[in-house]
Structure 1
Amino acid sequence: MTTDTIDLVSAEVIRSAMETVCFEMATYVSRTATTPILNQSNERNATILDGQGRLAALSVGIPQFMLSATLPVRFAIEFYGGELRPGDVIVANDPYHGGGHLPDFNVFAPVFADGELLLIASIQCHHGDTGGAVAGGYNTTARDIYSEGTRYPLLKIIDGGVERRDVVLTMRANNRLPGFIGDLRSQVGAAQLGAQRLTDIIELHGAATVRAAVDHSIADARNRFSREIAQWRDGTYEADVYVDSDPQGNTDIHVHVAVTVDGDRLTVDFAGSDTRPEIAAWSTFGNTRGNAIAQLASLVDSTIPKNEGFFECVDLRVPVGCCLNPTEGKPVSSGTHHPGVEVSDAIAIAMAQILPDRCSPQTYKYGSPRQMWGDHDPRTGRPFFDHGGEVNAGWVNAVKGVDGWGALAAASGNLIKASAELNETIFPHLLRGRNYVTDSGGPGQWRGACGSHFIKEARTPTYVNQYVVNQRHVHPGIAGGRSGAPDSCLLSAGTEREAVVSPVVTNHLLHTGDQLVYRFGGGGGWGDPLLRDPQAVLDDVWDEYVSVDGAREDYGVVVTGSVEAMDLALDEPATVELRSKLAGDQRPGSMRGDAA
């Protein structure tokens, strides 16, 4: 059976069934994993690939994460060849064999039909530790990959249905967290569940029909994406973005992109991006590839299946040795975030030149996850390690027609904020504050979402590692919208030990009662702020998203009264006069209060 002969109903039924299997695999991890990063925050994604390593289906999850999970599986197919057999489960986390960074463990199981490798069920999860010199998998002082943790290019953790106890022992010995093996076994179970569900689908429909359905789905995505590209104006569109600093103080990490539209094909070329050998900001090719495709996929019809068809429409050029495709051995833990997500910024800004109505950077700006640990939890007497299960709340962009909404950027996908009550049960700290920050969303015809204020109080001596970006090069607006407010972080706030994180603090000791105060930046706006409906601005002032002064200075809207007195009102004649004046002498600039 071929893509020409399979009926469309069967093809869609099988595609939908495989997406359901992905969802079930991801849910299995959330319900069986042992640490908060997985069982609360959902930092896991499931995919299905065919026997050639082509992405066939995926679940709802972190876009870049899902799209970067294919290369490790493809490497395994090439490496093992005919050695793969039913019942195998493989684990891999090596950034230089297709992965993103060491904390991301990919676990996958092959599925056979009539002795032929037909499908692969894969589940990728972020783990709280990787061994190495520093707890948590983020060594901000690392000069090479070996200081960041243990690399596992490929290991058969289950060989023909039998657990390899030697592999489990080795992996346990190279990880600090007691919950690591529990999380790993959760992944193994999810991969095995996925393999069984796919076997059931093959038995129900037949191997030839399933193979044809995968081919059809990939061809459908390729054809539909290429048709959209063909409607875009031919030309080359360039953009430059920067990261404030790498974790070691090298400033202004540069990402350059040139996107060329030529008929129904795209070339995305990152030549001109940073090549300084001394920097510590490196995104692996697999991570760069995932971020690039995730951003491009956000520009087109959302009903197009996200699979290998997208990759087939894009000629991705990432010179070896630049910050987006390092030579083997460079440290990549923080670089997976930055400059990795700046790939999305650059493509969005470039494509806004021809598709402003669809553009929104699929990105976030937090540096790298916070690690907090101590030797003694007074409630249990045991050491503890908190790897930032609260995730984040900020950087949500506006798009044409819709204000930035909610608390999590689109690039965070299915990540959720862990509950304060549960985290306080697990770790010796209290969460003293979570709230939106007024005037932090980027002004625009549609407003970027506000950033948030986050306060965590240590209840026992606690060490902190924290890396912060988005202090100078902030979240961009689109189509005349202004950028969001910057990030900032204080440790031991208000004491003589207060430390400003810029860009990194390592092993800072919070005494009992000390607070970590983090202000997450806002999302960028879309469109000219002077075109925003004055009534919408008044509503924002009522909701305390925008202040009375912010309404005047950023939107040219005159609001009288105050929230406290409950007498806010719109002064329409004064607004018309002020907007006319501002339109006459308007000049480019970032939003009021942005860092220089």
Structure 2
Amino acid sequence: MENHNVRVSEVDAVTLQVLQGQLSAAAEEMQITLLKSSYSSIVTESQDATSAIFDKHGATVAQAVAIPIHLGVLAELGKRFAASFPEGVARPGDVYVMNDPYAGGTHLPDLAVASPVFAGGELVAYVVTMTHHQDVGGSVPGSTAIKVFDHFAEGLRIPMCKLYDGGERNEALFAMMLSNTRTPSNMRGDLNAQISGCMTGAGRVVEMFEKWGAPVVNAAMQQLLDYAEKLTRLEIERIPDGQYHFTDYLDDDGSSPDAEPLPVVCCMTVKGSSLHFDFTGTADQVSTAINNVPYSAVSAVYYVVRTLTGDQAPNNDGGYRPVTCHMPEGSLINPRFPAPINARAVSLRRVVDVVLGVMAQAIPERMPAANCGQSSLIHVGTTRSATGERVVATVGGPWMGGMGARPGKDGVDVTDHDASNVFHLSVEVSEAELPIQFKTVQLWTDSGGAGKYRGGLGYHCEFTWLEGEGMATVRRDRHKFAPWGLDGGLPGPHCRTVLQPSDGDELPLMSKVQLVLKPGDTLKLWTTGSGGHGDPRERELDRVLDDVIDGKVSEEAAESLYGVHIDRTSIEGSSAQQLRPRRVANAG
């Protein structure tokens, strides 16, 4: 641009598209830097981290394709960073840090690191990275205890403050953070990776402002926000006006075997191009740590709304402007301080299911059946006998079960989907970090809900603890309430968790539990798949045959659920012609 000082009211379409691409590329490069330079396997392998760029007012203008569960949180954090460190307060070389869930965060393990961006001596933007840190103190390794007295018992709580001031590190704060984790090497490495990600993003944003000029880039940012809003409103206008309701349940709060189920209730009101989500009727806050702060719970809403526009819309805050939410104070998704919240992923999954479910009442042709509704997170802490080093790691996680069957397509087996979108931690990495040995990891036959389109399968795994003692925190659900099907599709099965002690009989466990693993103990998990879509007896015969041959559906289920009898002498000799459908007058 020849004159960077010219006032720009509107950027032409071609330039706007180029700048959108550059913003997105900068956010993605931040993410790659973060993932490649982090220390903990939960980041380097599972990729539980997110990067984003805010304008100078704190609005998210670009976010990496990473963790949808961070959408609402980053939208809130951007405004708070900009309010706490605005023009005149922020300085070049600053780095800010916070993790306070009651001040815009998610839960204590998620540390947000941000930096202001200056171009031509002016504050023009902020960049942020958010990483799940393996341990931030608290009563158990991994900092996600189910049973704690209150939020103060959950670990290190950091208000919004400066980690670097004008390029000088706050050594006292840094030392305090490292002294409040069981794994200081992990925290140091992951914090440095977050800072590196921010520096990468800041450099790319400065290049944009130097090339195009502040008037053009600032105008483009606002136009991209408006464009995302416009596309979202156009999609909402396709939804019939009215009120839609849906309810699903959590097994319990994990406090005791006879604890009551917890409803999550949503009423969605569609009016023109606006959506309102009212969660009145949702269970009250609980004494255990599965509560969700609203900034976290709203991410589930934003995720589902974001799916309406897909790849068409820029990944920014504009798409959330048409959305409002009411989350009753004192409820499971808007608890009063100091309710514990570090194990909040359990109930957050159910919020996702409920929002998908209420959306399916309005536009069933576009929504999937219920996903598995959980990630089987097992954080374990132990001490290496040889060195005395404290180790905190995640066993094989976060592993999720099946993805819900879709209108016109089967669900995906054992995948990290919906609001998580992370990667499985491999068996090999888990065995390298902890004294465990996996006995089996395999698809769980018949765990995908039957339907014209079958739900994705879940899995069965078993691992044995080999040495010393390990404090394990198990965060699961769907032991009592199965993932639901749609349009005649059947639900998936219930989950199971079993402990086989080295010196005793099998012990069925609650879905949420803390336990000490001893040498020879084996933990067995059956994680459900997902709901099916459509009448199972309308499924194509060849698909049923393929599922049986692949071991995804048993012959018994093929006959009882799909109305298909398989007659074969060998797998090689099987064919669709050897399938004989069994139908009765009232089948359905």
State if a TM-score over 0.5 links the two structures: yes
**Kept after mapping to 2: 8 A contact 1:403/1:448:** yes
Deviation at 1:486, TM superposition (A): 2.1
Listed one character per residue, the Cα deviations across residues 341-376 of structure 1 (whole Å, up to 9, x for unaligned) are: 222211211121221121126865336621222223
Matched, 1:244 2:251: yes
Aligned to 1:159: 165
- Alignment partner of 2:532: what SS? coil
Deviation at 1:388, TM superposition (A): 3.2
Report the Cα distance in structure 1 between the residues aligned to 2:369 and 2:204, rounded to whole angstroms: 36
> Superposition pairs for residues 223-372 of structure 1, below 5 Å?
223-249=230-256, 250-275=259-284, 278=287, 280-335=289-344, 337-360=345-368, 365-366=373-374, 369-372=377-380
- Alignment partner of 2:311: what SS? coil
Report the Cα distance in structure 2 between the residues aligned to 1:359 and 1:365, rounded to whole angstroms: 15
Matched, 1:113 2:122: no
Aligned to 2:559: 552
**In the alignment, residue 96 of structure 2 is paired with which amino acid?**
I
The correspondence for 2:50, drawn from 45, 58, 68, is 45
Deviation at 1:291, TM superposition (A): 0.8
**Kept after mapping to 2: 8 A contact 1:3/1:213:** no
- Alignment partner of 2:305: what SS? helix
The correspondence for 1:146, drawn from 141, 152, 157, is 152
In structure 2, list runs of 5 or more residues that go unmatched: 1-5
**Kept after mapping to 1: 8 A contact 2:373/2:478:** yes
Deviation at 1:80, TM superposition (A): 3.0
Query: Mean alpha-carbon deviation: is it higher for 387-396 or for 240-249?
Result: 387-396
Deviation at 1:381, TM superposition (A): 5.2
Deviation at 1:399, TM superposition (A): 0.9
Listed one character per residue, the Cα deviations across residues 208-266 of structure 1 (whole Å, up to 9, x for unaligned) are: 11111111111111111101111211100011111111122333111111101111111
Report the Cα distance in structure 2 between the residues aligned to 1:12 and 1:545, rounded to whole angstroms: 45
Count of matched residue pairs = 578
The correspondence for 1:507, drawn from 515, 537, 559, is 515
**Kept after mapping to 1: 8 A contact 2:380/2:394:** yes
- Alignment partner of 1:111: what SS? strand
Aligned to 1:75: 80
The correspondence for 2:584, drawn from 575, 580, 583, is 580
**Kept after mapping to 2: 8 A contact 1:54/1:70:** yes
**Kept after mapping to 2: 8 A contact 1:2/1:212:** no
**Kept after mapping to 2: 8 A contact 1:254/1:273:** yes
Question: Among the aligned pairs, what percent are the same residue?
Answer: 28
**In the alignment, residue 344 of structure 1 is paired with which amino acid?**
V
Report the Cα distance in structure 1 between the residues aligned to 2:105 and 2:284, rounded to whole angstroms: 21
TM-score, normalisation: structure 1: 0.92
In structure 1, list runs of 5 or more residues that go unmatched: 587-596
Listed one character per residue, the Cα deviations across residues 179-227 of structure 1 (whole Å, up to 9, x for unaligned) are: 2111111111111221111111111111111111111111111111101
The correspondence for 1:190, drawn from 181, 191, 197, is 197
The correspondence for 1:478, drawn from 480, 486, 492, is 486
**Kept after mapping to 2: 8 A contact 1:529/1:554:** yes
> Superposition pairs for residues 95-110 of structure 1, below 5 Å?
95-110=101-116
**Kept after mapping to 2: 8 A contact 1:271/1:318:** yes
Listed one character per residue, the Cα deviations across residues 455-491 of structure 1 (whole Å, up to 9, x for unaligned) are: 2222213322213211111222223222222222222
> Superposition pairs for residues 396-435 of structure 1, below 5 Å?
396-411=403-418, 413-435=420-442
Query: Mean alpha-carbon deviation: is it higher for 46-55 or for 473-482?
Result: 473-482
**Kept after mapping to 2: 8 A contact 1:344/1:362:** no
- Alignment partner of 1:424: what SS? helix
Matched, 1:56 2:61: yes
Deviation at 1:96, TM superposition (A): 0.4
TM-score, normalisation: structure 2: 0.93
Report the Cα distance in structure 1 between the residues aligned to 2:8 and 2:556, rounded to whole angstroms: 61
**Kept after mapping to 2: 8 A contact 1:400/1:446:** yes
**Kept after mapping to 2: 8 A contact 1:73/1:108:** no
Q: 1:56 to 1:308 in 2, by over 3 A?
A: same
**Kept after mapping to 1: 8 A contact 2:378/2:473:** yes
**Kept after mapping to 2: 8 A contact 1:559/1:571:** no
**Kept after mapping to 2: 8 A contact 1:88/1:160:** yes
- Alignment partner of 1:11: what SS? helix
Aligned to 1:210: 217
Query: Mean alpha-carbon deviation: is it higher for 84-93 or for 462-471?
Result: 462-471
Matched, 1:134 2:140: yes
**Kept after mapping to 1: 8 A contact 2:564/2:579:** no
**In the alignment, residue 12 of structure 1 is paired with which amino acid?**
Q
Matched, 1:496 2:500: no
